[in-house]
Chain A
Amino acid sequence: MRFHFKTSYDQDIRLFPDGWNLAVYSALLLFMLALPLMLDSFFLGEVTNVLIWAIAGLGLMLLTGQTGQISLGHSAFMALGCYTCVLLMEAGMPFILAFLLAGIITGVVGGLIAVPALRLHGVYLAIATLALAIIADDIIVMLSPWTGGVNGKFAPDIVIFGLEVNRWVNPEYWYYLALAVALLVTLIYRNLLRSPLGRAFAAVRDSEVSAQAMGVDVARTKTVAFGLSCAITGLGGALMGLFAGAFNNETFNFLLAIQLLMMIVVGGLGFIHGAFLGAIVVAFLPQGLSIFTDTLGRGYQIPGLEIGVFGMILVLFLIFEPMGLYGRWLKIRIWLELFPFARRDMFRRQKSYLKTERVR
């Protein structure tokens, strides 16, 4: 068991509380950097996919895990991020600029949509945002002169400072691009959590009344949360579309938003790690299942297997581990640290309600 002896406030403020923690994450970063040496291009592509899902998931996590607002409309913002980025690139803007601008535009649009939407609470907000996701599908078709409608669009080549990033030619470049964005988003996320805005998010999540009594402008904080969340998800969407190579209105339909929400619940709501763990499940599940069905025989197919298994996983998590994979890991870690003194009822769940439902 490790003890923290604190001699300075900075120990609580800095990114890594102690040397051990820093060492663990440095090792992880080194491992991630060295991954292209260990994997073939297929699995490297899969890991890139995980990172892209994680980026989109971090966006939703900021809103749902941190601020307590449910959104089933984030597929719309993934689409917005993707189309904006591609249209800007086609207009001749360099990739990095187009990519970041797409995030900012998505964030601003998200913030504007949030102003009316966030007057709603809990399940009503979920339904309103779901409607948004469904409408977005139609809007993409209606705007076909720009979006290509149902025929879709092909992703333009990504060129960063003269280097061409192509999934088929140099998958490791794509991987590093996704890794860099994931790192940037995680760093911003983490910085927000250790500053007043991140704490205001938690305050709004846990008790709106008392957040107000502490001087937190609840409506504005929610709007900022929604905007930031949409910006990050928009970046994820842009990467997803570019990585897929071709996309149309179906790529970003509302099922994607539901999958994104399920992903962060399975990973662990409110944890950065949760977005990554959930992304691993979402991205590798189809592969795992196809490997499994292959063992049953060539060409053997079970329709709906993937959705069924995913739904089953979600239900099991909601019943047995609502804190998700990362919550489970935390419990295992505490058990190991305290061994043999951990007690069974240490992790007994307390009944809790959606605070936004209780406090108006």
Chain B
Amino acid sequence: MELALSPEDAAFRDEVRSFIAENYPAEMRVPNPETDLTKEQSLLWHRILHKKGWIAPLWPKEYGGPGWSITRRFIFEQETSRAGTLPPLAFSVTMVGPVIYTFGNEAQKKKFLPRILSGEDWWCQGYSEPGSGSDLATVRTKAVRDGDHYIVNGHKTWTTLAQHADWIFCLVRTDPNAKPQSGISFLLIDMKSPGVTVRPIITIDGSHEVNDVFLENVRVPVENLIGEENKGWTYAKFLLGNERTSMAGIGRSTRYINKLKKIVEAEVAPDDPTHLDFQREIALVELDVLALEATELRVVAQMARGIDPGPAASLFKIRGTEIFQKITELTHRAIGNYGLALREQPVSANHFMPGSEYGHTASEKYLNSRKLSIYGGSNEIQRNIIAKAVLGL
């Protein structure tokens, strides 16, 4: 299914396609790019895109964006996703970047934006805390003004790839007496500051993706405050809006379904009744992808005509994550007994994994993707958003 493209946009699509084919680093093509790459390796594609001027499709031209139309942004998203490229640093480019150029001052823009684009700075997100998951307004990490500094104390958690991060953007409470949402500020903290400690959290798939970040009497210069004190909630909500765009994951789901089909053909005999069950399940999930893709194209076409899509992002997040979870579950089922095996982390060629190579990451993907319906505002929160914003409930 394709968007009806003008000749210029079609040429652009071809350009993107061949650029990826010619430039995507071979060493990033590993079984599971999200866990198997070193920090340096995972930055390779980011740097290539930066050099090409394509690193920040969403950004306005004046800050280093490519100045693409909505249609072109979508084409780029679609092509990179279909080709299975590792997305560039999302917390930097998609999340904190737009907050800085929208709400930050000139000095902050000048200091941070170029380093975000180049990949010199790796950002992580300091939103969640042990006591605030989906309910972010309850953050307890405190920032107390002391001359030109804030003294920050608190505990952030589920911090993705904090082990690589140079900076963390944090929601901190600056007014303990205000209502939950009005006493929060948006603060940028250097991870090298004394008092910042990162502790790994190992998830059920065995990987080290998320962390606890402890902040103990961390001195943060006041110049690192974004916008106004106690207005952080506004900036946080703006950022979350960006976080949930394009979570339909059509390209990724399509690639995984194709792989699943091959695994089923290799693992399940045609006269096994299970074979028919797999065919049926695969057809159903393929149709889920098709319907979501058709919906995404409909929304993109509407946006290109200037129609506000409303909380379409919530719909894409819900369905995109449910679909991918289903695919990883089917893949794990398809490898039969070898679903018992789980790769050891950190990944090394010295570890023995039984069964055919195509099944080696099935268990960890199945386990890891349970997170999808929880993070980025759980799917229940997304349903609340649609209930309120669309249904008026």
- Do A and B truly interact? no
* B residues adjacent to A (C-beta < 8 A): none
Measuring CB to CB, which residues of chain A are less than 8 angstroms from any residue of chain B?
A: none
